[in-house]
Structure 1
Amino acid sequence: MAKKVHPRGLLSSSSSAPCYFSSKRETFTIWMKSLVLNGKGCTVFDSDGHIMYRVDNYNSKSNNEVYLMDFDGGVLFTILKKRYFRLFGFWEGYKSTGKVETNTKRPDFLVRQSFNMLRRNSDCEVILGLDDNHPYNYAMTSLNGKCACKIVDNFGDTVAELKRKEARSGVVFGEDVLSMEVKPCVDLSLVMGLLVVYGLINSLM
């Protein structure tokens, strides 16, 4: 069974469509555990402690198809794992408000891992805007192990940063409790989709 990501109500919304952008910097807490018993996944909380997203994997061996859904159950992104040369994997994200026919449209983002023969890493190239034929790139770079990374844009500016969560007293939580900061005016659904891909690459969920 495929994984599903369920966000709680996201920020403000109009009568026609929810808003997935914020005018201020947002901070999320990610618990790399599913709320489903014996399931794999993660739970994402906002700064007020409300659940915003959940990844519930009912079949721990199923990581080839992920649905990013809004709070009404509408599909925001369908994320598919693909392979080329039967060896190297990459991930395609299809933005949608309904069922996606992935064989009839180009992906809205593509994530492919960078390979280094001298060391193992989780650095990834993210190509966005493929469906508009005006691609531009993000990069996901690992920081101090697989539990920390940052997403940067073409100009080298940090879009989002993921790291182990620390209490105000300086106490560091376990490796399964992370904190993510997202800069203003960024599509949160896209960032969450990339977070899911990073988690899948690193077997965090």
Structure 2
Amino acid sequence: MKAGLGVNGEYIYQQEKHLTVLKTSLFFANDGFIVYDCKGHLLFRVDSYGRDKGQLVLMDAHGRCLLTVRRKRPSLHQRWEGFAGERSEGQKPIFSVKRSSIIGRCGMVVEVLNNPGEEYQIEGSFGQRNCRIMNAGKESMAEIRRKVDASRNVVLGRDVFSLSLRPGFDGAFAMGLVLVIDQINGDDYVQDYKAEVFPTTDD
């Protein structure tokens, strides 16, 4: 059984994989991401400077476009769509992501458009770096967690986090979902981060 949408076979691993994701801007959502594998090699990068704010491109270490995510407008549920490679006019999306509800903080639903039976749920708090991508059987396929510096046993800031992949789950697809989650929850993230770094005090 296929464990997840295959965006690029190069990033489907036979063993569980732990990636390190660095968010390159703390106060303006989605300015960029850099992703490293467990050996410290650059795997993916996203640089949204000068790009349409409603569209992001996931690239490999050499700048090759792997996946484009684009906000669909209008959409009450903040629906986003994913396209293989660099999106061209008239190209059909390969997956879509939307909020489960238009009210308050909630989970998200991921539909794989060329396979109606393949669906995923995203639950948890991205702002707290604690969420999971689960398949229709409620099995965890990928997890986002706070990054821990094992040498010092210190939890790092939320600009650096871990993305763990279950064997067979495409890392490019998972990172594309991270981009969408960050876009949808970006305001929550910025407010939570500012509150953590600059707490208010009563006189």
Q: TM-score range, shorter-chain basis?
A: 0.7 to 0.9
- Aligned counterpart for 1:81 among listed residues 63, 71, 81: 71
Could you tell me how far apart the structure 1 residues matched to 2:31 and 2:68 are? 19
Could you tell me how far apart the structure 2 residues matched to 1:126 and 1:186 are? 14
- 5+ residue gaps in structure 1? 1-16
Q: Which whole-Å deviations, capped at 9, do the CAs of 1:101-160 have from their partners, x for residues lacking one?
A: 35243x11000012264xx324110001x1x35342101112484422110001111000
2:178 corresponds to: 195
- 5+ residue gaps in structure 2? 1-7, 191-203
Could you tell me how far apart the structure 2 residues matched to 1:104 and 1:49 are? 34
Aligned identity (percent) is 31
2:124 corresponds to: 142
Contact in 2 for aligned 1:94/1:108 (Cα 8 Å):
yes
Contact in 1 for aligned 2:45/2:59 (Cα 8 Å):
no
Higher helix share: 2
Matched residues, number? 176
Structure 1 residue ranges (4+ consecutive) displaced by more than 6 angstroms after TM superposition = none
1:125 partner amino acid: V
CA apart distance, 1:59? 3.7
1:9 corresponds to: none
- Aligned counterpart for 1:176 among listed residues 141, 150, 159: 159
1:33 corresponds to: 24
CA apart distance, 1:22? 0.6
For normalisation by structure 2, the TM-score amounts to 0.75
Q: Which whole-Å deviations, capped at 9, do the CAs of 1:71-113 have from their partners, x for residues lacking one?
A: 454432221101235x4421001114xx5435243x1100001
Contact in 1 for aligned 2:126/2:185 (Cα 8 Å):
no
Contact in 1 for aligned 2:107/2:123 (Cα 8 Å):
yes
For normalisation by structure 1, the TM-score amounts to 0.75
Could you tell me how far apart the structure 1 residues matched to 2:111 and 2:9 are? 24
Q: How does 1:1-205 map to 2 (within 5 A)?
A: 19-33=10-24, 40-59=31-50, 62-84=52-74, 87-96=76-85, 99-105=86-92, 107-115=93-101, 117=103, 120-128=104-112, 130=113, 132-143=114-125, 145-168=127-150, 169-203=152-186
